[in-house]
Amino acid sequence: MHTTPWPIRLDDLLFREAVEQDLDALLSFRNDPDVNRFMVRTHVEPEELRRDWLAVPESPTEFSCVVERAGRVVAMGFLDVVDGPGQDGAPTGTDGLIGYIVDPRYTGQGIGRATARVLLQAAFDGLGLRRVTAAAYADNPASVRILESAGMRRERLSRQALWHDELGWLDEVGYAILADEWAARAPAGARSS
């Protein structure tokens, strides 16, 4: 049985599982050129997006969500449960990987920061994970600020690690936070609905 951390409400934002009626909105900004400037995967076929999002409620490892404000989908959050690296016999399903995309019409309003915080809350408080990571182009200062403001610490800089069609090889930064670090900072204001 799929245990979901959703819904979660933070201020005027509702974080919930996607439903079919959300898919056109998600596609409209997922394939927006301004959004894709900072994405490794710059285009998603509509049927693939539809199939992937509708499969989330049945997945044992994917806990992606939509972010709604005043009845409008304004962002999407990604939370995948993965195995931590290690020797044979290591515990499985202990780590998480997060990401987010904010509709360009709503950037600069704190939605990305709130989404990162709520994804971490879902990972640690809802799913009981031990470690969560995220990555961004080093040349994407908005995403770097979001990850840092959510309490994640920079762990690595990978030089010329990601190919960008317009800009060539770009640096990638990796961020992480452990469950005990998350618990020590105890973000206020988020609660399950």
As to burial, measured by CB atoms within 10 angstroms (0-12 exposed, 13-18 middle, 19+ buried), residue 148 is middle
Dump pLDDT digits (tens) for 39-63: 777 778 889 999 999 999 999 999 9
On the question of pLDDT at 191 being above 70, the answer is no
C-alpha distances in Å from residue 35, one per residue of 5, 44, 59, 102, 153: 26, 12, 26, 8, 24
Kindly list the strands in the beta sheet with 153-164, ordered across the sheet, starting from the edge strand earlier in the chain.
153-164, 168-178, 131-137, 95-102, 72-82, 65-69, 13-16, 8-10, 190-192
Is it the case that residue 186 has pLDDT exceeding 70?
A: no
pLDDT beyond 80 at 37: no
Burial 34-62 (b: 16+ CB within 10 A, else e): ebbebbeeeebeeeebbeebeebeeeeeb
Q: What is the mean pLDDT of residues 64-92?
A: 94
Whether the Cβ atoms of residue 6 and residue 125 lie closer than 8 Å to each other: no
pLDDT value for 2:
64
pLDDT class for 80, splitting at 50, 70, 90? Answer: very high
CA 55 distance to own-chain centroid:
17
pTM above 0.85, yes or no: yes
Q: Is 155 left (phi over 0), alpha (psi -120 to 50) or beta?
A: alpha
Q: Which residue has the tokens 């509708």?
A: 54
Domain boundaries, the chain: 8-192
Q: Is the domain 8-192 a CATH 3.40.50.2020 member?
A: no
pLDDT bucket at 189, cuts 50 / 70 / 90: very low
- Helix runs in the chain, H state only: 23-30, 33-36, 46-55, 111-121, 141-149, 179-185
In angstroms, the CA 34 to CA 159 distance is: 24
| Integer Cα distance of 96 and 82 in angstroms | 6
Give residue 17's pLDDT. 96
Average pLDDT of the segment spanning 99-116: 95
Distance of alpha carbon 68 from its chain centroid, rounded? 15
